[in-house]
């Protein structure tokens, strides 16, 4: 069945929150700061703000991207969904909607770094972790459309 991208609805908060919570729980280097309920609530807030797009296949949310203007606030995939095209599709949709995107990823997340670099993002800065809740070193990436880069 085809992958479908759509704006998230309040009913997607549970699926998105579970994806976010599973990433926290299943990632060895990630601090365990939030409960499942807190992750669902956080995703619900982003959905209420109109920031979230979900990737759905067979009625299952495979991943989500939250974007506030040019900032990609979150891009997470369900366990087992990596390599199925959902992350790329979500990112391509964000690129189509904005001439420039900025995001942050943890320095420990080598898989995300490879993905963003492959998708045309360039590193623009590093931080020691003092400015994020997790206290983890982070890398800032930026992407510009061809038209934006030429301007």
Task: Name which residue leads in pLDDT, 112 or 150.
Answer: 112
**pLDDT digits 0-9 by tens, 51-60:** 999 999 999 9
Structural domain count of the chain? 1
Which three-class secondary structure state does DSSP give residue 112? helix
| CATH number for position 93 | 3.40.630.30
Tell me what pLDDT residue 122 has. Answer: 98
Residue 146 belongs to domain spanning:
4-150
Give the phi and the psi of residue 45 in degrees, each rounded to 5: -65, -45
- CA separation, residue 107 to residues 24, 92, 135, 139 (Å): 15, 23, 11, 6
**Cα distance between residue 99 and residue 79, in whole Å:** 30
Q: Identify the burial level of 138 via C-beta atoms within 10 angstroms of its C-beta, where 0-12 means exposed, 13-18 middle and 19 or more buried.
A: buried
Q: How confident is the model at residue 83 (pLDDT cuts 50, 70, 90)?
A: confident
The whole model's pTM is what?
A: 0.94
Residue 65 has pLDDT above 80, yes or no: yes
Q: Quick: pLDDT tens for 33-53.
A: 999 999 999 999 999 999 999
Round to whole Å and give the CA distance between 4 and 19.
Answer: 17
Q: How far apart are the C-alpha atoms of 137 and 113, rounded to whole Å?
A: 13
Instruction: Kindly give the interhelix angle for 36-48 and 13-26, rounded to the nearest 10 degrees.
Output: 130
pLDDT of residue 150: 58
Q: Confidence band (pLDDT; 50, 70, 90) for 151? A: low
């Amino acid at each position: 069945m085809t992958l479908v991208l759509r704006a998230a609805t309040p009913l997607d908060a549970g699926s998105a929150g579970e994806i976010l919570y599973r990433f926290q729980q299943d990632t060895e280097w990630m601090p365990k700061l939030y409960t499942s309920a807190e992750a669902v609530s956080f995703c619900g807030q982003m959905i209420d703000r109109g920031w979230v797009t979900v990737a759905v296949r067979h009625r299952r949310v495979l991943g989500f991207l939250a974007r506030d203007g040019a900032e990609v606030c979150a891009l997470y995939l369900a366990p087992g969904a990596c390599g199925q095209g959902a992350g790329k599709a979500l990112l391509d949709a964000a690129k189509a909607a904005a001439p420039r995107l900025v995001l942050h990823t943890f320095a420990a997340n080598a898989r995300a770094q490879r993905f963003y670099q492959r998708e045309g993002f360039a590193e623009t800065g590093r931080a020691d972790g003092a400015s994020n809740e997790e206290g983890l070193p982070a890398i800032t990436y930026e992407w510009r459309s061809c038209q934006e880069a030429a301007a």
